[in-house]
Structure 1
Amino acid sequence: MDISTSEETKLRGQLHKSFKAVKNCLSIWKEALAACRQPLDQVENLCEQHQCCSAANIEQSGIIKPFPDIRMRLLYKIDVELEEQLSRINVEMKKLENCCERIGKHCGYSMKSYHENSPYIPLDKVLEQTPTCPAISDMLEWLQQIERLVFQQYHCKKYFLEIFNPNNTEGTENLKDMWSSGDQELINTVEEYLSYTSFFLEEKIT
């Protein structure tokens, strides 16, 4: 085996590991998003209750005179339930964070392997594609695109939770739509790239 073949094998081996990691992370990512749906429904409902309770002119009702602190008690109960649902979402967010970090690391590993080995690999080998194996250049580009989308989606969700306020009507009316914006684009993109690498991932690279 000459040097160029050896270095190409090293690079393809790292790309193989990286796309295997992406495939595993996509499965975890989809499961985490699915697990967020029910608590998000609850959060949306509780926000509506919180806003109604805050806006209600209950002091004018003679019925609640014996309970002057009823609004405070109701809001406290809603806040406790909200915190519980947000905690459930944060458990899933940790899984998304782990996927984000793992994909970022693998993208870095593959780029590092490329820079270390590319001086010994002819350009035509970097650009070469076969019916069962995409070009090295394409796979590197796909990994970078996946990393960008995953980073973007994770940090958008993280920011959403950081600025969350149950009294912000504008931010809670379309809560689920805002939360899931971009999710399907990410999933479709990653699944498309994984389909291109399906035969490559079945290979045993030594």
Structure 2
Amino acid sequence: MPAEDTIYKQMLKAYKSAEQQISLLQESIQECQSLVESLSNLAEQLQCCRCAAADHESVLLLTAYPDLPGRMEVKLVQSMEGILCKLQGKLETLQSARTKLYYQYTHALSSYQKISQEFGVQKATQRTATWPSIVDMLQWLWEIDRQYASICANRQWILDTLSYDRLGEIQALPSRWKLNSSDKNFFQDILAHVSFFMADVAGHS
């Protein structure tokens, strides 16, 4: 039926996009781990540099070169700023991906609303052993978008609140940055629920 074909194809398109954006999210977060680990190491070096500067009179080398800690700190901060710029670039890419995800959700919802009367409530809420209902899939798309946005916002907040006055927080960044298991399972569970639907609809397209 035309109404069914329309909404099923739109759902397939939306979930294909969701798969792509989720994959991008996971790959990007993983790629950033080496950056945040480097940032953490630099923060540790900067902390040591400041401790040495505070006690420089007791260190022969720093007594001979009293401006050395300052020069080292400038270089370390410059390196950290470079990494922070790279992390910000990664986040901006993820924000663009999230925009695509939100567009697919709103487009799927709009497509359903246009044919909802023809489609009917019973069909919209009907499930099978392998296919979720249209209502389920719309709800899950919304939840994927919300979770994706939350993950991006959390990483942006982490970057925005980093301070060279709180180097301990920067040193702890690797554990704060990576995706936790609940985030990974959340996406995997939803995609598993729609896998048969996607294969069936794609096979008949």
TM-score by length of 2: 0.89
Q: Retained in 1: the 8 A contact 2:125–2:135?
A: yes
- The aligned counterpart of 1:199 is 196
Distance 1:66 1:8 in 2: 80
- The aligned counterpart of 1:174 is 172
Q: How much is the aligned-residue C-alpha RMSD, in angstroms?
A: 1.9
Where do 1:154-173 residues align within 5 Å? 154-173=152-171
Provide closer, same or farther for how the CA distance between residues 183 and 97 of structure 1 changes in structure 2, counting only shifts above 3 A.
Answer: farther
Where do 1:27-38 residues align within 5 Å? 27-38=23-34
Structure 1 residue runs of 5 or longer lacking an equivalent are none
- The aligned counterpart of 1:41 is 37
The count of aligned residue pairs is: 201
Distance 1:72 1:173 in 2: 20
Decide which of 97, 100, 113 is 2:98's aligned counterpart: 100
Distance 1:176 1:64 in 2: 32
Write out the 4+ residue segments of structure 1 that deviate beyond 3 Å after TM superposition: none
- The aligned counterpart of 2:81 is 83
Distance 2:60 2:187 in 1: 60
- The aligned counterpart of 2:143 is 145
- The aligned counterpart of 1:24 is 20
- The aligned counterpart of 2:51 is 55
Structure 2 residue runs of 5 or longer lacking an equivalent are none
- Give the Å deviation of 1:170: 4.5
- Give the Å deviation of 1:139: 0.3
- Matched letter for residue 185 of structure 2: N
- Give the Å deviation of 1:103: 0.9
Q: Retained in 2: the 8 A contact 1:11–1:110?
A: yes
- The aligned counterpart of 1:186 is 183
Distance 1:173 1:65 in 2: 28
Q: Retained in 2: the 8 A contact 1:47–1:172?
A: yes
- Give the Å deviation of 1:183: 4.0
